[in-house]
Chains A and B, each alone.
Chain A
Amino acid sequence: MKRLDKGERMDRRSFLKVGALASSALLVVPSAHAHARTEPIVELEKIEPWKPVSFNYPSADEPAILIDVGRAVKHGVGPKKSIIAFSALCQHMGCVVNFDEKDRLLKCPCHASWFDPLKGGKAVEGPSPMGLPVIALKVKGGKVYATGIIEGLVYGRASND
Chain B
Amino acid sequence: MVNRREFIQKVAIVTGATGIATFEDLQSAFAHASSKGLSIELPPDDAETFNVTCQFCHVQCGYKVKVWERGKGKRPKGTYTTPLSGEWVAPTFIAPAEKDGKKVFIAVIPDKDCVVNLGDHSIRGGTAALTIFTKDFKTFEKRLKYPMIRRNKNEPLKRVSWKEAIEFTAEKLLRLKEEFGPDALGLVWGDWLYTLPTHAILKFWFVGLGSSSHMGNGWYWDEESAGISAAFGTGTRAITIEDFEKTRLLFCAGKNLMDTGSVWYHRFLMNNPNAREIYVDPRKTQQAKLAEERGGLHLQIKPGTDPILAGALIRIIIERDAWDKEFVEKYVSGFDVVKAVVRHDKFSLENASTITGIPKDKILKAADLLIENKGHTLVTGEKGIMHQMAAFEAQHGYAVMGIILGNVGKPGANVFRGAGHPRGTFWWPPEPPSREKNEHLPTALKEGRIKAIWAFGSNVFNQIPNQRELRPLIAKTFLIVQDRIHTEMDSAADVIFPAASWGETEGILASEDRRIRLIQKFMDPPGEALPDWYIVAQVAKAMGLKGFDWNHPKDIWDEIRQNNDWIAEITWEMLVEAGTNGVRYPMKNGKSPERLFSDECEAILGKRFFTKDGKVHVEAFEKVLKFDPMMYEWSGVNKDYPLMAIDFRLNELWNTGYTYWFTPTLYERTPDAFCMIHPEDAKRRGIKDGDWVILRSRYGQCKAKAKVTTDIIKGCVAVPALFPKEDQKNAHILPDTPSPINGDVVTQVAVEVIKIKSGGVKKSKKEI
- Asked whether, in the complex, the Cβ of A30 is within 8 Å of the Cβ of B80, the reply is yes
CB proximity of A14 to chain B, nearest CB, Å: 7
- Asked whether, in the complex, the Cβ of B245 is within 8 Å of the Cβ of A1, the reply is yes
Interface: A61 (CB within 8 A):
yes
A-side contacts of B269, CB under 8 Å: 110-112
What range describes how many residues of A lie at the interface? 35 or more
Interface: A149 (CB within 8 A):
yes
- Can you list 28 A-B pairs with a CB-CB distance of less than 8 A? A1-B242, A6-B84, A10-B84, A30-B80, A33-B78, A91-B90, A94-B83, A111-B262, A111-B269, A112-B269, A127-B122, A129-B92, A130-B91, A130-B92, A130-B665, A149-B36, A149-B38, A151-B36, A152-B34, A153-B33, A153-B91, A157-B80, A158-B41, A158-B75, A159-B38, A159-B40, A160-B37, A161-B39
Tell whether A111 pairs with B270 under 8 Å between CB atoms, given A129-B126, A130-B665, A158-B42: yes
Partner of B273, one of A6, A11, A36, A89: A11
Q: What sequence of 0s and 1s flags, for each residue 19-34 of chain A, a beta carbon within 8 Å of any chain B beta carbon? A: 0000000111111111
- Asked whether, in the complex, the Cβ of B78 is within 8 Å of the Cβ of A112, the reply is no
- Asked whether, in the complex, the Cβ of B36 is within 8 Å of the Cβ of A29, the reply is no
- Asked whether, in the complex, the Cβ of B266 is within 8 Å of the Cβ of A122, the reply is no
How many angstroms from the CA of A62 to the CA of B84 in the assembled complex? 15
- Asked whether, in the complex, the Cβ of B38 is within 8 Å of the Cβ of A152, the reply is yes
- Asked whether, in the complex, the Cβ of A157 is within 8 Å of the Cβ of B78, the reply is yes
- Asked whether, in the complex, the Cβ of B40 is within 8 Å of the Cβ of A153, the reply is yes
* Least CB separation from B38: chain A residue: A153
Interface: B258 (CB within 8 A):
yes
Q: Looking at chain A's contact residues, is the secondary structure mostly helix, strand, loop, or mixed?
A: loop
- Asked whether, in the complex, the Cβ of B118 is within 8 Å of the Cβ of A3, the reply is yes
Tell whether A127 pairs with B262 under 8 Å between CB atoms, given A110-B84, A111-B269, A155-B83: yes
CB proximity of B720 to chain A, nearest CB, Å: 14
- Asked whether, in the complex, the Cβ of A156 is within 8 Å of the Cβ of B80, the reply is yes
B-side contacts of A30, CB under 8 Å: 78-81
- Asked whether, in the complex, the Cβ of B119 is within 8 Å of the Cβ of A93, the reply is yes
B-side contacts of A111, CB under 8 Å: 120, 262, 266, 269-270
Partner of A127, one of B74, B75, B266: B266
CB proximity of A111 to chain B, nearest CB, Å: 4
CB proximity of B318 to chain A, nearest CB, Å: 35
How many angstroms from the CA of A94 to the CA of B269 in the assembled complex? 16
Q: What sequence of 0s and 1s flags, for each residue 57-95 of chain A, a beta carbon within 8 Å of any chain B beta carbon? A: 001011000000000001000000000000001011111
CB proximity of B455 to chain A, nearest CB, Å: 30
* Least CB separation from A25: chain B residue: B83
Partner of A112, one of B80, B120, B126, B290: B290
Interface: B18 (CB within 8 A):
no
Q: What sequence of 0s and 1s flags, for each residue 119-131 of chain B, a beta carbon within 8 Å of any chain A beta carbon? A: 1111100110000
Q: What sequence of 0s and 1s flags, for each residue 290-318 of chain B, a beta carbon within 8 Å of any chain A beta carbon? A: 10000000000000000000000000000
B-side contacts of A122, CB under 8 Å: 1, 668-669
| 11 further contact pairs, Cβ within 8 A, besides A130-B90, A156-B82 | A6-B85, A89-B83, A91-B90, A93-B84, A112-B269, A114-B286, A124-B669, A127-B122, A154-B79, A155-B88, A156-B79
* Least CB separation from B273: chain A residue: A13
A-side contacts of B571, CB under 8 Å: none
B-side contacts of A36, CB under 8 Å: 37
Interface: B651 (CB within 8 A):
yes
How many angstroms from the CA of A161 to the CA of B1 in the assembled complex? 26
CB proximity of A96 to chain B, nearest CB, Å: 8
How many angstroms from the CA of A148 to the CA of B36 in the assembled complex? 8
B-side contacts of A125, CB under 8 Å: 286, 651
Interface: A142 (CB within 8 A):
no
How many angstroms from the CA of A13 to the CA of B271 in the assembled complex? 11
A-side contacts of B120, CB under 8 Å: 93, 111, 127
CB proximity of B395 to chain A, nearest CB, Å: 27
CB proximity of A68 to chain B, nearest CB, Å: 18
CB proximity of B651 to chain A, nearest CB, Å: 7
B-side contacts of A95, CB under 8 Å: 83-84
Which of A1, A62, A154, A155 has most chain B Cβ within 10 Å?
A1
* Least CB separation from B86: chain A residue: A93
B-side contacts of A7, CB under 8 Å: 82
B-side contacts of A130, CB under 8 Å: 33-34, 90-92, 665
Interface: B760 (CB within 8 A):
no
Tell whether A129 pairs with B83 under 8 Å between CB atoms, given A34-B78, A112-B269, A153-B38: no
How many angstroms from the CA of A36 to the CA of B123 in the assembled complex? 29
Q: What sequence of 0s and 1s flags, for each residue 130-152 of chain A, a beta carbon within 8 Å of any chain B beta carbon? A: 10000010000000000011111
- Asked whether, in the complex, the Cβ of B286 is within 8 Å of the Cβ of A159, the reply is no
Interface: B473 (CB within 8 A):
no
* Least CB separation from A113: chain B residue: B123
B-side contacts of A51, CB under 8 Å: none
Interface: A126 (CB within 8 A):
yes
Interface: A98 (CB within 8 A):
no
CB proximity of B246 to chain A, nearest CB, Å: 8
A-side contacts of B127, CB under 8 Å: 129
- Asked whether, in the complex, the Cβ of B79 is within 8 Å of the Cβ of A61, the reply is yes
- Asked whether, in the complex, the Cβ of A94 is within 8 Å of the Cβ of B78, the reply is no
How many angstroms from the CA of A32 to the CA of B78 in the assembled complex? 6
* Least CB separation from A150: chain B residue: B36
How many angstroms from the CA of A6 to the CA of B85 in the assembled complex? 5
* Least CB separation from A111: chain B residue: B266
B-side contacts of A37, CB under 8 Å: none
CB proximity of B713 to chain A, nearest CB, Å: 20
B-side contacts of A9, CB under 8 Å: 83-84, 270
Partner of B37, one of A59, A156, A161: A161
Tell whether A110 pairs with B79 under 8 Å between CB atoms, given A129-B665, A130-B92: no
Q: What sequence of 0s and 1s flags, for each residue 8-34 of chain B, a beta carbon within 8 Å of any chain A beta carbon? A: 000000000000000000000000011
Which residues, 108 to 158 on B, are CB-close (under 8 Å) to A?
118-123, 126-127
- Asked whether, in the complex, the Cβ of A112 is within 8 Å of the Cβ of B242, the reply is no
Tell whether A31 pairs with B79 under 8 Å between CB atoms, given A93-B120, A150-B36: yes
Partner of B82, one of A27, A91, A154: A27
- Asked whether, in the complex, the Cβ of B39 is within 8 Å of the Cβ of A160, the reply is yes
For the complex of A and B, list the 3 residue pairs with the smallest distance between their C-beta atoms, beginning with the closest: A159-B39, A94-B83, A156-B79
How many angstroms from the CA of A151 to the CA of B32 in the assembled complex? 11
- Asked whether, in the complex, the Cβ of B82 is within 8 Å of the Cβ of A33, the reply is no
A-side contacts of B40, CB under 8 Å: 153, 158-159
How many angstroms from the CA of A152 to the CA of B457 in the assembled complex? 35
- Asked whether, in the complex, the Cβ of B80 is within 8 Å of the Cβ of A158, the reply is yes
How many angstroms from the CA of A34 to the CA of B78 in the assembled complex? 6
B-side contacts of A33, CB under 8 Å: 77-78
Q: What sequence of 0s and 1s flags, for each residue 187-222 of chain B, a beta carbon within 8 Å of any chain A beta carbon? A: 000000000000000000000000000000000000
- Asked whether, in the complex, the Cβ of B286 is within 8 Å of the Cβ of A127, the reply is no
CB proximity of A21 to chain B, nearest CB, Å: 14
Tell whether A127 pairs with B121 under 8 Å between CB atoms, given A33-B78, A157-B78: yes
Interface: B76 (CB within 8 A):
yes
A-side contacts of B81, CB under 8 Å: 30, 94, 156
* Least CB separation from B130: chain A residue: A129
Q: What sequence of 0s and 1s flags, for each residue 97-136 of chain A, a beta carbon within 8 Å of any chain B beta carbon? A: 0000000000000111010000110111111111000001
- Asked whether, in the complex, the Cβ of B258 is within 8 Å of the Cβ of A112, the reply is yes
